[in-house]
A and B are shown apart, each in its own frame.
Chain A
């Protein structure tokens, strides 16, 4: 399998549920990202991981909890979400050099999340 794989593709959860989104990249990249895309809005960067270390958290509410156990896997743990959290959640990876030169992103197909 190649590229960036996200599971599940679709998820419906209640506000009291706990669920996790999974992302796996097969490209040998060393950086991974979570983005959120709400209806008719630009992609919003949520979290950045470089070499498994979180380097950015863009004021994301604590009900979203990322986890990066290794450079190939990224999770987004969800709990007590609100209906306004319904969106397309996208994972991406890239290869970052030691001086953080930008190379390019590869995105997964996303998880369509609906909070009811």
Chain B
């Protein structure tokens, strides 16, 4: 079973900032939180990974509060091409495999 919970879907408009929150109440002390993006008929693509506080790269930011029981992926100024499924993941027991949930379907409209 997936160890994370996230909204099933979200709608946004071009140019807006999108925040997708994920709950991981049972996250282990050493677990990193990772987000992937998947377009139809393609493999998931790594977006960002973090352990605590804030991580930023060229495509997104990841905010992790002190208790680490949730995290928020922030996509600045989304475009139509950001329409995809976004997965929040933490490692399963054993640490080296990922169990995917349903993810969040993000639809960006013009």
Physical interaction between A and B = yes
Decide if the interface of chain B is mainly helix, strand, loop or mixed: loop
B99 touches A45 (CB 8 A): yes
The number of chain B residues with a CB under 8 A from chain A is 24
Across the interface, name the chain B residue whose C-beta is closest to A108. Answer: B43
Question: CB within 8 A of B41: which of A42, A91, A110?
Answer: A110
Secondary structure at chain A's binding surface: helix, strand, loop or mixed?
strand
Closest B residue to A110 by beta carbon equals B43
* B32 proximity list for chain A (CB < 8 A): 102
Q: Are B45 and A107 in contact (CB under 8 A)?
A: yes
Indicate if the CB atoms of B41 and A88 lie closer than 8 Å.
Answer: yes
Report if A109-B43 is in contact (Cβ < 8 Å); known contacts: A101-B95, A102-B91, A102-B95: yes
Interchain pairs with CB closer than 8 A, number: 59
> Taking CB as reference atom, which chain A residue is nearest B100?
A43
> Could you tell me how many residues of chain A have their Cβ less than 8 Å away from some Cβ of chain B?
29
For window 94-116 of A, CB contacts with B under 8 Å fall at: 94, 96, 99-102, 104-110, 112
Q: Is A43 within 8 A of B96, CB to CB? A: no
Q: A42-B2, A50-B96, A94-B96 are in contact. Are A104 and B34 (CB under 8 A)?
A: yes
